[in-house]
Structure 1
């Protein structure tokens, strides 16, 4: 009888093209390990209120919710028979990903090196960096 290497795998997604490789790798890990798949999308509502004076906060929240839905739809279309529990979180992305992982007893977090702010950091995205520094479980960073 095979032992599950990772019983619970969390994929952090932002729906960006930069994140696609992380989705692919995370799906592979869940499929190969036969574990439970989780996916989170974090809306940083702090940035919504300061993003633009021309866009009302309510509209910005609605746009963010729609982006989350698209990110989860992409995951679903890529994952085939592998099922994922999805969750939209609110707060600072790195911190919320780590808190969710701890709460759910996640064994592995899969995250991309760059997301929507691909040029924000030269080598490693700030969210990925925070997750690596703060997570108590293993982290797979996908380029």
Structure 2
């Protein structure tokens, strides 16, 4: 019998607001017996602006540490679930959808902060872009906080 979701991708940014999405993703993965790919994407635009600055190595290390913390939190939350973690860099939405295609993911789960109106229009959102460009279903989890 085929599993409902064989492979689930959780995109995490390590924020408090993202924890609801991670928790829901883990529940779904447990219920479906899925493999989870947890990814943290170091935003290329932050990295590029830091390259000209002498402290860029330090900033890179800090962003990478944030990524480590984020995926380690997923590891703690997902104990007992088949899990692989990745820290990647690039444009977050693009990296998420490309990774999902390469790994033949069945479901992408991303958190959303529930912005609306002008704020959403001005800021755009990684979740919005993932929804528009992914080739598999995308589940957005709105933060409870």
Q: Same fold (TM over 0.5)?
A: yes
Instruction: Count how many residue pairs are aligned between Structure 1 and Structure 2.
Output: 137
**1:44-87 CA distances to partner (integer Å, 9 max, x unpaired)?**
13322325976611111100110011001111111121131011
Aligned alpha-carbon RMSD (Å): 2.2
CA 112–34 in structure 1, closer or farther in 2 if over 3 Å, else same? same
- Partner residue in 1 for 2:70: 71
Distance 1:129 1:55 in 2: 34
Contact in 2 for aligned 1:45/1:61 (Cα 8 Å): no
Q: Which runs of 5+ in 1 are unaligned?
A: none
1:50 aligned onto 2:49: yes
Q: Is 2:34–2:81's contact at 8 Å kept on the other side of the alignment?
A: no
Cα distance in structure 2, aligned partners of 1:80 and 1:36 = 12
Q: Which residue of 1 aligns with 2:79?
A: 80
Q: Which structure 1 residue ranges, 4+ long, deviate > 6 Å from structure 2?
A: 52-55
Structure 2 distance, partners of 1:125, 1:6, is 28
**Aligned pair 1:25/2:21, yes or no?**
no
Q: TM-score, normalised by structure 1?
A: 0.87
Pairing 1:127–2:119 present = no
Query: Which secondary structure state, in structure 2, belongs to the residue aligned with residue 25 of structure 1?
Result: helix
Tell me how far 1:8 sits from its aligned partner: 0.4
Q: Distance in 2 between matches of 1:53 and 1:98?
A: 29
